[in-house]
Structure 1
C-alpha cells in the first residue's frame, strides 16, 4: 500500500516537470504538421479548383488541386496536375515533395500508356507516353518502350496478315499454325482479341471455301437451277470473310456466264429460258444496264423471228430504245443495220415473187433480176438464192423442154443417123441448165444404141469364127470393139474365154507330149503343165483326168522304190498335187515312210542289244 502511494506521488511530479511539457509540445506540433500535410495533399472534391485564379494562388492550394486532379486517374488530369505544381519555383520549399509527386504521376502516365498498348491502342499509347515531361525519370524510358511496342506490334501484324494471305490461298493448315504464334505475343490485344478473331476467320474461311467450291461446280454445270443455287451460296459469304473478294469475283463471273448462257438460249430461240436466266442474274455486280439492254434484245429478237416485214420493223423500233450511253448500244446499232438490210431484202423478195407469179419466161427472168439485187452478204441471201434457183429452173425448163421434145422425135425412127441427129439437138442444152442431166441421160442412151447397132455384126462374126475353131481370128475380130463402147464388156469376156481355150489346148498338148518320156521326172513335169490349163477351158476336164492318172502312176513308182530307198520314195510321193485322186493315199504312205526313217528310242536300242548278247 505504501509502495503504491509512492508511485502515485512520482507520477504527479513527472506530469508537472518541464521534460513532460516539452515532449507534449513537440508531439502536438508534429501532429499539427502531419495533419496539415495530409490536409494539403488530400484529394478534396473541390469544385472551386476550376475557378481559382492561379497566378495569385498559394502553393498549398496548387498542391491540393493537383492531387485532386491526379487521383482522378486519367492522362489528361495527371498532366494537368503536373503542370499545376511544376509552375512553382525551383527553390520553393516544397519543391522536393513536388518533384516526388511529379515522378509518381509520370510513372502513372507511362503505366496508362502501357495499358493502352495492351488494349490494342498503339498510337494512343505512343501519344500518351510522349506527353510525359522530359525532366522525369520515366521520360528516359519512353523511346525504348515505344520501340519495344512497335516491334511487338509489327511482328504481330505480320503474323496476322500472313495468316490472312494463307486463308485467301485456302491454306488453312498454315493459317492455323500462324494463329498459334499469336499466343506468344507479349500483348493482350494480339494474344487474346486478335487470336480469337483469327481463329474465327479460319473457321469462317473453311466454311466459305466449301461454298466457293460448290458454287464453282454448279456454275460450270450450267442450267438455270444450278446458276441460281451458285448465286445463293456466293451471296451467303459475308463481307468480313477473307474470301469475300474471291466470292464477289466469282459472283461477277457467274453473272457474266449467265448472261452468255442467256444469249445461247436466245440464239436457239428458247425465249422462256433466256428470260428466266436474265431475271436470276444478281443486280449488284455491275451488269444491271447490260442485263436491261439484253432484255430489249430478247423482245426485239422475238419480233424479228416472225420473218416478215412487220416483225423486222417492230424489232428495229424496239432496239432504237437503247441510247448512246448504254453498254450494248454499238451491238444494237449493228443488229439494227442487219435487220434493216433484211427488211430491204424481204421487201425486194416480195416484189420478185409477185413478178414470178405472173408466169412465163420473161416474168421469171424479171423476178430473177429483181431478186439478184439483194447483196450476197445479206442474212436473207440463202432464202433469196433459193427462190432465184427455183425461178431459174422454171425458166430454163420452159426454154429447153421444146429442144428435148424435138430430139425425142428425131430419135424415134431408131436408125444411127436419126439417133445422131437427136444427139446433136439435145446437146444444145448446155451444162448447168435445169434439163442438162435429163438431156445427158438421153444422149448416153442414144449413143449406146448407135454403138450396139454398129458393133453387133462384129461380135457375131467373131462368134462364127470361134465356132469353127478359128480362135485366133475370133479374138482379133472381137478386139476391134474398143473400150467404153456399149458391147465392149461382152466382147472382152468372149475374147478372154477364147484365150483360155487356146491356152488350155496348148498346155494339155504339151503335157501329153512331155508325159510320153515315161520317166518319173517327165510325169512330174507333165502334171505341172496340166495344172496350167484354165479352169474355164473346155480342156480342163481332160487335164484333170490326166493329172489323176499320172499321180497314181507316181504313187505306184514310189511304192516300188520304197523297198530299197525310202527317201526317194518320199520325194516322189511329195510331188503328187493336192487336187489329184491319189493325194490322200500318198499322204498315208508318206506318214508311214517318215515314221520308218525316225531313229528308235534309246531303251529299245538297249533291249535289242541285250537280246543279241
Structure 2
C-alpha cells in the first residue's frame, strides 16, 4: 500500500535532495582564489608597478568573506524557522494529510454535525503504519461520541428518523459503533411498536370510536420510548379536535336537511370550520359542494323569475373558493347587470362601476356553453347588455375628455355624450353631464373677464373701479359666474360711493376744527342715507351739533354768572334754569342756582352807597360752598 505522501503527490526523495543542497551550500568553493602573501615590490626600469594593486585584492577578499557569511546565516534561519499554519480557508491547497487533519480538528471544535461527519469520514480508514494513526483513532472516538450524542438529542425531540440517520454515520471502525447500532435498534423497535398503536388510534378516529382512540393513547403512554410519551398531549388534542369536527359535520347536515337557503348557508359556514388537518375534511368538502350546487340552482330559478335581490342573497352563501364558487360569481355578475337595466338603479351607480359590471357579465355570457342552465336565460339579455356597454364606453370617454378642463375637450365630450340615442338607459345621465359641461365651458369663457375686472379694481381709483364694473358686466345673466360677478360689482360700487363721499367728510372735519360747526353739519348732511358713509357723517354731525349746544349753554351760564356778580340772583337763577337736563353743564348750573338761592335768602336790604362783594361762578369750574 502506498503511503499517504505518495497518494498526495509528494516525492519521498525530496528531503534527501534538500539535504544535499544544504550540504552543497556549506561546502567551500574550489573556484575561490586562495590567499597568497603579497609579492615584494620589484623595480623594473622599463615596466612600472600599478599604483593601487594591493588595495584591489583587499577589497576582493572582503566581498568574498561577506558573501560566505550571508549564505551561512540564511541557511541557519531556514533550518530554525517554524512551519507555517495551513490555510484551512482554501482546502484545495492542502496537500498533506497532517494539514487536512489539523483543519478537520479545528472545524470539529464547533460541534457542527456535518463537520464532525466529514472528520469521521477522513480518519475512519487511516493506515495503521502511519505515524499519526493513534492521533486519528483518538479523533475518531471523540467525534463519534459527539455524533452519537447529537443523535440521542434528535431522538429526544421526536426526530427518530433523523436520529437513526445520524447514528448510522458512525463507521464500524469506530469504538462507538456498537453503541450506535444498539441505539438504532432500540429506536427502530420503539418506533415499530408505537407505529402499530398509532395506526390503531387513527383507525379509531376514522370510525368515530372515541373510547377506543383514548385507549390507544393510554397504550402509547406505557411504551418505554420517550418519543411516543412526548406525543401523548398532542394526540389528546387531536382526539378532541376530531371529535369536534365530527360534531360540526353532523350539526351542519341537520341544518341542511331543511332545504332552506338560509339554513344551507349556515350549514356551509359550520362545515367550513372543519380544519384542513381533520380526517373528515374530505367528507365535509364533498357536502359543501353538494349544498353549494343546491344553492346555485335556487339562485338560477330566482334570476329567471326576476327576483334579483333574492338571487344575489342566495348566491352569496356559496363559498368563493369552492368548485361552485366561480359559477356563483358569474351568476351574481348576471344579476347585477340585469339590475342595472332599471333606470333608477343605474342612476345611483357610478359609470365606472356599471362599465365593470356589464363588461364582466358580457364576457361571461359569451363564454357560456349551450348545455349550461344559465345559457337560455342569459342569451336574450346579452344584446341589451352590449348596448349598455357601448353607451357606457361613450360616457367614460366623454368624462375623460371633460376631466382635462379645457374648451375643446369639453366640446368633444359633449358631442360624445349626445351620441347616446334617446330611449337608452344612459340617456338621462348623458344629458345631465352635457348640461354640467356646458356650464363649465361658460365658466372657462367668463373667468378671464372676471380676472381682468379684479385686476382693474386692484388699482383702487375711481376710474379703475368703473372700468372693473364695466368688464364684469360682460358676464351675462344665466351664466355660472354671473352671481360672483354681481357680488363684486356691488362691492366696487360701494367703494366708488366711499371715494365720492370721503372728500366731503374731510372738508367737514376741517370746518369743525375751525369751530364752524353749522357749515360742517350742513356739509355732512349732503351724504345721503343710501351712501356707505351716511352713518359716519351723521355721527360727526351729531357730535358737532352737541358742540354748538355746549357753546350756547356756556354762553347762558356766563350770562347767569354775570348777573350773579351784579347781585341780581333772581335774574341769574332764571337764566341758569334755561339749561336742559341733557346739557353737559346742567349739573354745574344747578349747583350755582343752589348757591345763588342761599345767598338771595340771607342777603340784607341793599344800600346804595355800600355794595358788598359777591361770589362769581365760572362756567368752567364748580363753586366752592
- Where on the TM-score scale, by shorter chain, does this alignment land: which range? 0.3 to 0.5
The structure where helix makes up a greater share of residues is 1
TM-score normalised by L of structure 1: 0.38
